[in-house]
Amino acid sequence: MAVAKKVARARKQVSRSAAAAKRAVTTKVARVTKKQAKKASRVMTRAKKAASGVSGKTRKTARKTGAAVGKVLGRTIGTMEKMVNSVVSTAKSTLR
């Protein structure tokens, strides 16, 4: 159960952070202010941290025990990382 809980927590944090980042980046503004840029980058870091919050060991154990959670865990973390990365890249290009 601990594993599932960790995943849920990470997932929630990431989706929240990603949404916030998107908002910070895609609000219709002519120029992105320094404050917004900072906010966006802060959010990204949080999202990344959350995605990596489930340690590799937890993932490994889950996979080894053949728990469905293991598979789900690997996948969700992958998706989360992809999501965060896409948001990060859009933000970066917008903030240039």
pLDDT in tens, 83-95: 666 666 666 666 6
Per-residue pLDDT reduced to its tens digit, 30-58: 555 666 667 666 666 665 565 555 566 66
Q: What is the pLDDT of residue 27?
A: 58
> What is d(CA 21, CA 10) in angstroms, rounded to the nearest whole number?
16
Q: What is the pLDDT of residue 81?
A: 61
User: What's the predicted TM-score (pTM) here?
Assistant: 0.33
- Percent above pLDDT 70 for the chain: 1
User: Residue 44: which of 6, 93, 4, 83 has the closest Cα?
Assistant: 83
> What is d(CA 77, CA 6) in angstroms, rounded to the nearest whole number?
11
Q: Which residue has the tokens 């941290």?
A: 49
Contact 51, 80 (CB under 8 A): yes
